[in-house]
Amino acid sequence: DGRGPRAVRVSVSARGGEWVSTLELSAFAYHHARETDTNSFVFDALCDGIYQAIVPITRQGLWDMEFAFEADGQPVRVGHFDRQ
């Protein structure tokens, strides 16, 4: 809607359902119709398994996000991603 920065929250749990709180989480976002309109950002850990970033999305339209998860400097494989 072009109204400026938005909070993006991500929750991360392991297969057994326990929260994962030791990750370094970052993302890259780009506007679907204008791929040169991009933003990179890092998430802060809020509490057990909950991460949040304030994302400077200022253009109306569809944005795609690519996430990177790391633990102890090593990439973490994500097996399933639910969008709510």
pLDDT in tens, 59-76: 788 888 888 999 888 888
Q: The pTM is what?
A: 0.78
Residues 6+ apart with CB under 8 A from 26: 40, 41, 42, 43, 67, 68
Q: Is the pLDDT of residue 84 over 60?
A: no
pLDDT in tens, 15-59: 888 888 889 999 988 888 887 888 889 999 999 999 999 987 777
- Main-chain phi, psi angles of 72, to 5 degrees: 55, 40
Q: Is the pLDDT of residue 1 over 60?
A: no
Q: Is the pLDDT of residue 79 over 70?
A: no
